[in-house]
């Protein structure tokens, strides 16, 4: 390649970039790839999930500002660039029947309109590869599903100069992937490895949730070796202190077991405009060669 390789990861909230594909991004940064995280919302309606910070009046009153600072710290740890698309968190409605989503939130935006700032960012950054969520959002959070919708719309539109003509010169990414790091195959492998070693597994409940959220197992097309970057991934995740309990289930599996049993992060190739052979071990397969 005579041109710098570039990767764009589109995420719904601050902290999603650190829990989905963070080790992959850190690996590519170490290889000299330019990596940009596009964060759709500010996470304003996110709950404080770290029990050590629950009840903190300052955080509760300034959650938007706090989460921006957490994102800055995670960005520095991962070595990536980051941009906000400026949408408002939809929250995660609960109840039966589900309450309506808040007026003006991200998930209620018109897709064609909401894709415009992402098209603008794509044309400015000019990524060769994008990552996003599948049509189920990875799990059925309204912001994750909307992230999928605008990512796919922007991927299709960014290279068409007749669409969004005021959003900069056309640029066509060559591949787009769905993050599939929370896949049943990986979870089962780690769960069984822990039990075989006589250790407690945090994944029993996860496996039950897979049955609830996913109708079928997704096709994993791409396995990026990035075990050497799991520690960076975890540091970035811990930087999102309001969202992550450092003593919680995320960190109960020793890194040496993770690297031995499942040293990759997984993706599903959604669309490619270049020839590539599956399975892959590189998001840039078919691009480096050309």
**Is 16 labelled as part of a ligand binding site?**
yes
**Is 64 labelled as part of a ligand binding site?**
no
**Is 13 labelled as part of a ligand binding site?**
yes
Q: Report the alpha-carbon distance of residue 286 to residue 290 in Å, rounded.
A: 6
Residues contributing to the annotated binding site for Zn(2+): 13, 16, 144
Residues contributing to the annotated binding site: 13, 16, 144
């Amino acid at each position: 390649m005579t041109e710098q390789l570039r990767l764009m990861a589109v995420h719904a909230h601050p902290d999603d970039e650190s829990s989905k594909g963070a080790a992959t991004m850190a690996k590519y940064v170490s290889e000299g790839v330019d990596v940009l995280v596009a964060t759709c919302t500010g996470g304003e309606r996110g709950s404080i999930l770290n029990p050590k910070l629950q009840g903190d009046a300052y955080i509760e009153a300034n959650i938007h500002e706090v989460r921006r600072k957490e994102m800055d710290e995670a960005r520095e740890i991962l070595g990536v660039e980051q941009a906000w698309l400026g949408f408002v968190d939809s929250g995660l409605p609960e109840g039966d029947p589900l309450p309506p989503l808040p007026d003006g939130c991200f998930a209620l935006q018109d897709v064609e309109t909401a894709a415009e700032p992402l098209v603008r960012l794509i044309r400015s950054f000019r990524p060769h590869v994008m990552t996003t969520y599948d049509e189920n959002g990875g799990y059925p959070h309204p912001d994750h599903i909307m992230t999928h919708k605008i990512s796919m719309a922007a991927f299709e539109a960014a290279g068409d100069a007749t669409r969004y003509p005021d959003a900069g010169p056309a640029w066509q990414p060559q591949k787009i992937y769905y993050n599939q790091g929370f896949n049943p195959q990986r979870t089962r492998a780690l769960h069984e490895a822990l039990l075989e070693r006589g250790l407690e597994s945090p994944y029993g409940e996860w496996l039950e949730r897979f049955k609830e959220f996913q109708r079928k197992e997704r096709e994993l097309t791409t396995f990026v070796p990035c075990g050497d970057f799991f520690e960076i991934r975890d540091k970035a995740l811990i930087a999102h202190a309001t969202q992550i309990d450092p003593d919680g289930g995320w960190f109960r599996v020793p890194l040496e077991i993770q690297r031995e049993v499942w040293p990759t992060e997984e993706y599903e190739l959604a669309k490619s405009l270049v020839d590539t052979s599956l399975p892959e071990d590189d998001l840039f397969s078919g691009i480096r060669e050309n």
